[in-house]
Amino acid sequence: MTVAPAQLQLSLGKSGALWDKGVILQLTIGCTMPLKKINVNTADINAMPPPDPRLADMPLDVMGLFFFAYRDFVSAADELLVGHKFGRAHHRVLYFVNIRPAMPVADLLEILKITKQSLARVLRQLIDEGYIEQHIGSADRRQRLLYATPKGQDFFALLSKSQTQRINTALQELPHESRQTVRKFLLAMIEKTDHQTLAELKLIENPET
């Protein structure tokens, strides 16, 4: 089948012609350029390795949903943190210090599962910029107790605004009886050795035995 040439008008004021079947782009500027035809080789498709059979035993749907849910859950807070030259570690420290005033540094270190050096760096920045205060324990002077300042409380509330809205919106779309199921599912995802810590933080009523 013969295809009539399509006339082109270039922004430089020069004309040209494009032939589909001739596979030639000819411009009045005096050059020709072959157009590459894309061929799909069925042999290449057939040579692709088969799907990994181990994938069949993976909860890929739930894993993917976790990824996208967490990505969107932290996105707005991440933008605020970047504006203050903070990271997610700063957010986590602010979360725990806000929900449990006078938290010992040792307890925070155990919860976050990070190195002492990493936590010290984050705490130093938060303390120096007035988000957190550190006091010596009255009963044990070796303890270092952490408190959120009014500035730290305000910033934590700002970080939590979008996350609160996202969680509340998602829960409102569920039947009331399903909300407890969501909490049970999340609790089951957490190591049982941490359930006592959850109870001490008042995130659950009583740890399961």
CATH class of 59-173: mainly alpha
| Alpha-carbon distance values, 96 to 17, 109, 148, 182, 193 (Å) | 68, 11, 10, 22, 18
Domain chopping of the chain, boundaries: 6-36, 59-173, 175-209
Q: What pTM value is reported for the model?
A: 0.74
Please report, for the chain, how many H helices and E strands are present, in that order: 8, 7
| pLDDT tens digits in sequence order for the chain, 209 residues long | 554 544 444 444 444 444 444 444 444 445 555 555 666 666 566 678 888 999 999 999 999 999 999 999 999 999 999 999 999 999 999 999 999 999 999 999 999 999 999 999 999 999 999 999 999 988 888 889 999 999 999 999 999 999 999 999 999 999 988 989 999 999 999 999 999 999 999 999 877 54
Burial of 207 (0-12, 13-18, 19+ CB in 10 A): middle
